[in-house]
C-alpha cells in the first residue's frame, strides 16, 4: 500500500537528514501566521471602504472592525486546545497544510466580505476560519521541534515562536505597501491586499509543508546522552493530554502564562498613547510609532534569547527572572515617568516586552520538562487558552484603569501609575504559581499497554 | 543537503531581515 504525501510516515527523515532544516519549516509557518499581530494596519482602511479617504455614511466603525482581531485571537486559543490531539496524531505536515488552507481561506472569505460589504463575513472568514489556521499553525511544529532537539528544546521552539513575533514586522510594512499599490479612484486597496496576502501566505506556508520532517522513533542527536543527573522538574515519563489538564501542574503553568502575557499584552495595546501621554509635548505620534516598533523588536528577539537561556538555567529559573525583574521594572516605571527619563522608560519597556515574548517561547519546553514529549503539542494547545483570556484581560484592565484614574481627577501623565502597580500584583501571582511547581505525581504517568 | 539547508534559511531569513530593517527605520524616529 502506498503512503500518501500527507501521511505521517512519509515525513520520517532519512538517516543523513540535517535536523537544522526543520526550524526554517516551522519559522515559515509562524512568520505567516504572525501577520495577525499587524492586523491593526487594516483597521482604518476597513472603516473607509465606501468613503475611501474618510469614513462615509454606511461605513463600518472602529469598534465593529476591532472585533475581527479579537475573534481571531480567541479562536486561536480555542482551536489550539480543540485540535491539539488531532495535530499530534496526523503529524506536522498535514496540520501545517490545513493551517495554510484555513489561514489563506480566511483572507479570501474576508475579501468577499469586503466586496459585498458584509462584516459578518470578515468575522467568520478572518476571525473564525483564519483563527483556526492560527491555532493549528501555532502548535503544529512544536512537538516535532522538541523531538528533533532534545538537547536544546528551548532554543528550537524559541526559533519558531520568534517567527510569530517576526511575522508582524513583515506584515505591517507589507500591508501598507500592498494597499498603496492597489489604491485607485474606486478602491482604497484593502480588498486586493487581502487577496494578495492570502495567496502569498498560502505559498509561504507550503514551504513548511514540504520541508518538515519528523525524526525516526527513538532518534537522538549523534553523540548526545541524556544527563544522568536528575533535574527536579525534568521528567523522563510521559503524561497524556487527557490526564495532563487534570494535574495541578497544568493549571499552575496556565496561571504562569496567563499572568506573564496579561502584563505584556496590556502594554502592547496602549504603548503609543501611553508614551505620548506620560511625556506630553516631548514625544510626537511619529516617535511613539518608533517606540512601538522598538518594543516589537524586543518582543521578537526575547523569544529566541530567553528560550535559549532557559536550556542552561532551567525553565523555572527563567520564569522567576521574568516575574521578579518584571515586578522591579513595573514598580519603578511611574518614578521614571515622573522624573522625565525617556531613555530609561524606553529601556524598561524593551526589557518587559522581551520577557513577554520569552514567556511564550519558553512555555513549550517547560511543558516538555513537566509532562514529557508524548503529547506535548496537544498539551501546549490547551495551555494557549491562557493567551485567549490574557488577550481580553490585559487590554481591558489597562484601559479601564486609565479611564478610571482620569475620571477621578488624575492628570493623563500619571494615569498609568496604578495600572503599573496592578501589573506588579499580577506578576506576583505568576511568581507564586511558578514557585509552587513540583513534578507530576507518578499516578498520571503514561504506561505502555 | 547543505544547499537545501542554506536555501531554507535564506527563504525565512531574507523576509525577516527586511521586516527588522523596516521596523528599525521606524524606530529611529524615536531618537530624532
Q: Give the least confident one: A70-74, A295-299, A391-395, A429-433.
A: A391-395
How many helices and strands, by DSSP H and E, does chain B display?
1, 0
Q: What is the DSSP letter of A13?
A: P
Nearest to A211, CA basis, from A358, A391, A13: A13
Q: Which domains does chain A have, with CATH numbers?
A: 17-211 (1.20.1250.20), 241-442 (1.20.1250.20)
What average pLDDT score do residues A101-117 get?
Answer: 97
Residue A407 C-alpha cell reads as 475620571
What is the rounded end-to-end Cα distance, in angstroms, of chain B?
46
Nearest to A404, CA basis, from A419, A392, A389: A419
Rg (CA), chain B: 14
A235 pLDDT above the threshold of 80? no
Q: What is the DSSP letter of A140?
A: T
Task: Write down the mean pLDDT value for chain A.
Answer: 90
Closest Cα in chain A, distance from residue B11 (Å): 8
What average pLDDT score do residues A405-421 get?
Answer: 82
Give A1's pLDDT tier (boundaries 50, 70, 90): very low
In A215-314, where does DSSP find H-type helix? 241-244, 248-278, 285-313
Q: What is the DSSP letter of A128?
A: I
Closest Cα in chain A, distance from residue B14 (Å): 10
Please state the pTM of the whole predicted model: 0.90
Residue A339 C-alpha cell reads as 522624573
Q: How far is CA B4 from CA A20, A21, A146, A189, A214, in A?
A: 10, 8, 22, 37, 17
Best probe of the A interface among B30, B31, B32, by most A CBs < 10 A, is B30
How far is it, in rounded angstroms, from Cα A28 to Cα A207?
7
B14 vs A contacts (CB less than 8 Å): none
Nearest to A155, CA basis, from A297, A315, A324, A350: A315
Q: A256-313: per-residue pLDDT in tens?
A: 999 999 988 878 777 888 888 888 888 888 888 888 889 989 999 999 999 999 999 9
Beta bridge partners of A239: A445
How far is it, in rounded angstroms, from Cα A5 to Cα A92?
12
Torsion of CA A219, A362, A202, B22, to 10 degrees: -130
Look at the alpha carbons of A125, A6, A158, A324 in this order and tell me if their dihedral is positive or negative: positive
**Cβ-based neighbour number of residue A47 at 10 Å:** 19
Q: Who contacts A328 (Cβ-Cβ below 8 Å, separation ≥6)?
A: none
What average pLDDT score do residues A221-229 get?
Answer: 75
* Structural contact between residues A257 and A386, judged by C-beta atoms closer than 8 angstroms: yes
Best probe of the B interface among A27, A161, A205, A301, by most B CBs < 10 A, is A27
Nearest to A190, CA basis, from A387, A383, A40, A370: A40
How many residue contacts between A and B have a Cβ separation below 8 Å? 76
A229 pLDDT above the threshold of 70? no
A288 vs B contacts (CB less than 8 Å): 30
Q: A306-353: per-residue pLDDT in tens?
A: 999 999 999 999 999 999 999 999 999 888 988 889 999 999 999 999
How far is it, in rounded angstroms, from Cα A2 to Cα A344?
62
Best probe of the A interface among B13, B26, B28, B32, by most A CBs < 10 A, is B26
Which residue in B12, B23, B29 is closest to A169 by CB distance? B23
User: Searching chain B, which residue's CA lies closest to the CA of residue A295?
Assistant: B27
Which residue in A170, A211, A346 is closest to B19 by CB distance? A170
User: Searching chain A, which residue's CA lies closest to the CA of residue B3?
Assistant: A21
Closest Cα in chain A, distance from residue B29 (Å): 5
Chain A residues with a Cβ under 8 Å from any Cβ in chain B: 16-18, 20-21, 24-25, 27-28, 31, 163, 166, 168-173, 207, 211, 283, 286-291, 293-294, 296-297, 300, 346
Residue A323 C-alpha cell reads as 516575574
- The CA-CA-CA angle for residues A176, A346, A306, to 5°, reads 85
User: Searching chain B, which residue's CA lies closest to the CA of residue A21?
Assistant: B5
User: Searching chain A, which residue's CA lies closest to the CA of residue B19?
Assistant: A170
User: Searching chain B, which residue's CA lies closest to the CA of residue A288?
Assistant: B30
How far is it, in rounded angstroms, from Cα A138 to Cα A83?
11
How many Cα atoms sit within 13 Å of A28 on the Cβ side? 30
How far is it, in rounded angstroms, from Cα A359 to Cα A372?
19
CA A268 to centroid of chain Cα atoms: 13
Nearest to A84, CA basis, from A314, A402, A374: A374
| H-helix or E-strand spanning residue A214 | none
Which residue in B8, B28, B31 is closest to A24 by CB distance? B8
How far is it, in rounded angstroms, from Cα A254 to Cα A248?
10
Beta bridge partners of B25: none
Q: A352-405: per-residue pLDDT in tens?
A: 999 999 999 999 999 999 999 888 989 999 999 998 888 878 877 877 887 888
Q: A188-211: per-residue pLDDT in tens?
A: 999 999 999 999 999 999 999 999
Residue A225, SS3 per DSSP: coil
Interface of B with A in 1-32 (CB under 8 A): 1-2, 4-5, 8-9, 11-12, 15-16, 18-20, 22-24, 26-32
ipTM of the complex: 0.95
Amino acid at each position: 500500500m502506498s503512503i500518501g504525501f500527507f501521511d505521517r510516515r512519509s515525513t520520517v527523515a532519512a538517516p543523513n537528514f540535517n535536523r537544522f532544516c526543520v526550524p526554517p519549516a516551522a519559522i515559515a509557518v509562524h512568520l505567516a501566521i504572525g501577520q495577525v499581530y499587524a492586523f491593526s494596519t487594516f483597521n482604518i482602511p476597513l472603516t473607509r471602504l465606501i468613503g475611501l479617504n474618510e469614513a462615509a455614511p454606511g461605513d463600518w466603525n472602529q469598534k465593529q472592525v476591532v472585533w475581527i482581531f479579537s475573534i481571531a485571537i480567541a479562536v486561536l486559543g480555542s482551536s489550539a486546545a480543540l485540535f491539539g490531539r488531532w495535530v499530534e496524531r496526523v503529524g506536522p505536515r498535514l496540520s501545517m497544510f490545513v493551517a495554510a488552507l484555513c489561514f489563506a481561506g480566511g483572507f479570501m472569505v474576508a475579501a468577499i466580505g469586503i466586496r459585498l460589504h458584509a462584516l459578518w463575513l470578515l468575522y467568520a472568514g478572518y476571525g473564525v476560519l483564519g483563527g483556526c489556521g492560527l491555532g493549528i499553525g501555532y502548535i503544529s511544529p512544536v512537538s516535532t521541534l522538541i523531538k528533533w532537539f532534545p538537547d536544546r528544546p528551548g532554543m528550537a521552539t524559541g526559533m519558531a515562536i520568534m517567527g510569530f513575533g517576526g511575522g508582524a514586522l513583515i506584515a505591517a510594512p507589507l500591508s501598507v505597501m500592498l494597499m498603496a499599490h492597489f489604491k485607485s479612484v474606486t478602491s482604497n486597496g484593502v480588498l486586493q491586499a487581502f487577496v494578495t496576502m492570502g495567496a502569498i501566505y498560502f505559498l509561504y506556508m507550503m514551504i513548511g509543508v514540504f520541508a518538515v520532517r519528523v525524526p525516526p522513533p527513538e532518534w537522538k542527536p549523534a553523540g548526545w546522552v541524556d544527563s544522568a543527573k536528575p533535574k527536579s522538574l525534568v521528567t523522563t515519563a510521559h503524561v497524556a493530554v487527557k490526564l495532563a489538564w487534570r494535574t495541578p501542574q497544568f493549571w499552575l503553568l496556565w496561571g504562569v502564562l496567563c499572568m506573564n502575557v496579561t502584563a505584556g499584552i496590556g502594554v502592547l495595546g496602549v504603548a503609543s498613547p501611553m508614551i505620548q501621554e506620560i511625556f506630553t509635548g516631548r514625544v510626537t505620534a511619529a516617535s511613539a510609532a518608533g517606540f512601538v516598533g522598538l518594543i516589537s523588536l524586543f518582543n521578537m528577539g526575547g523569544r529566541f534569547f530567553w528560550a535559549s537561556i532557559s536550556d542552561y538555567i532551567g525553565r523555572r529559573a527563567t520564569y522567576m527572572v521574568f516575574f521578579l525583574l518584571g515586578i522591579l521594572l513595573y514598580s519603578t516605571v511611574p518614578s521614571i515617568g515622573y522624573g522625565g527619563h525617556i531613555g530609561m522608560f524606553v529601556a524598561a519597556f524593551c526589557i518587559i516586552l522581551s520577557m513577554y515574548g520569552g514567556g511564550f517561547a519558553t512555555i513549550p519546553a517547560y511543558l516538555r520538562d513537566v509532562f514529557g514529549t508524548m503529547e506535548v503539542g496537544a498539551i501546549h494547545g490547551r495551555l494557549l487558552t491562557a493567551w485567549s483570556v490574557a488577550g481580553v484581560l490585559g487590554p481591558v484592565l489597562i484601559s479601564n484603569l486609565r479611564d478610571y484614574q482620569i475620571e477621578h481627577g488624575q492628570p493623563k501623565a500619571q494615569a498609568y501609575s496604578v495600572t503599573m502597580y496592578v501589573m506588579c500584583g499580577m506578576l506576583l501571582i505568576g511568581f507564586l504559581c511558578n514557585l509552587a511547581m513540583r513534578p507530576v505525581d507518578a499516578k498520571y504517568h503514561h504506561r505502555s499497554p | 543537503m547543505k544547499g537545501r539547508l542554506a536555501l531554507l534559511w535564506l527563504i525565512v531569513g531574507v523576509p525577516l531581515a527586511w521586516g527588522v530593517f523596516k521596523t528599525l527605520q521606524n524606530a529611529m524616529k524615536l531618537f530624532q
